Structure 1
Amino acid sequence: MTNQERFNEIFQDKIKRPGSEELLAFLNGPHSDFFTAPASTRFHGNYEGGLVEHSLHVYECLTDYLARERVKQIYDMHYSEDTIATVALLHDICKINCYTVGKRNRKINGSWQEVPFYQFNDEMPYGHGEKSVYMITPFMKLSREEAFAIRYHMGFSNDDPKNNVGYAFEHFPLAFALSTADMEATYFLDEVRSYE
């Protein structure tokens, strides 16, 4: 099963809210490169299909985190499969149609060779998490906690004022859980590939 097939299967199985079918059709349609885009230019998922792979990794990590007894019993975190799939699978749709492939010269084994590399060109620079929320909501309604989770999934690694991130984590625990899952996927599951 390809990552696109797996993503579509989880999405259709778990996300049942009004507008979800239209959003999935957009992601699979000609105006979206969601399934071929990288997740970054030089770091995690910096290869074709890296974005969908990262999204699936975040879904796995979030599902595992929320299944922990400590998280359920002590932290009292209980979310529907719909919510978990929505925030995990869609947290980075802000990266759709933002990457282009360029060429540059790199010395490989003593000789210069032309190699491909990804460039980031965001024609709708609306921020990161907030842009994902902005792109989801014309299709589907998000709860306040889902919107905050997606908005603050970068946690303290973003340029947000630290007290805003702390407030979001304290008042919307799903934001902390999604940020944790995103970091786990980024640093432990997603590959970083070199063109050398």
Structure 2
Amino acid sequence: MTGKPDAADIAYIRALAEEGRTAPPLNGPIMIAAGVIFGAAAVAQWAIQTDVVKVSPWAQLWVWVGAGALFAVALAVLINRMKSKPGYGHVRNEAVGEAWFGVGMVIFTVWLGLMAMGFTTGDWTAMRIMPSLVFAAYGSAWMVAGAMGRTGWLKGVAVLSYAGAVLLGAVSHLTIGYLVFAGLLMLVTVIPGVILTRQEPAEIV
């Protein structure tokens, strides 16, 4: 025995790597949920700031807190459903899942930091950066997803997300920026989510 891997071992390792890379992506429904829930929250904030809906300005905070809570519930349900599908636990889906988890934590912690800044200083201007931050973070996660699956169109979604971050910076001082944010969410979450969902395998019976 030489201790060196033979051709069969190498072929097996290569097959495992390719299986992980080509495993079907399973995060489509999660992206749809994120786009719909947070897109609706952005429209609600626009409605409050333009007096389409006449409520206390503090209602804007509860809109986003409620959206976050609703998404957390949806995320738990959807992840539980993912566990019954082929490809769950493969390298590609684990890596993409970790990328999106990291993105979520960045967005959440920066939001908390900006909230703390607003409460302590009374100046909420810094919150204007949040939409651009969200889209820059989304772009990075989509780039990872595209690289893991060698999927060019997902990298295209990443580039669109980065472009969206720049556009949102340009309109951050305008109330219409919330509608732009909601519309862009449809492009970089809901539509890709629908495409990915259609590519999913059936559940294991």
TM-score scaled by structure 1?
A: 0.32
Q: Find the structure with the greater CA-based Rg.
A: 2
TM-score scaled by structure 2?
A: 0.31
Higher-helix-fraction structure: 2
Higher-strand-fraction structure: 1
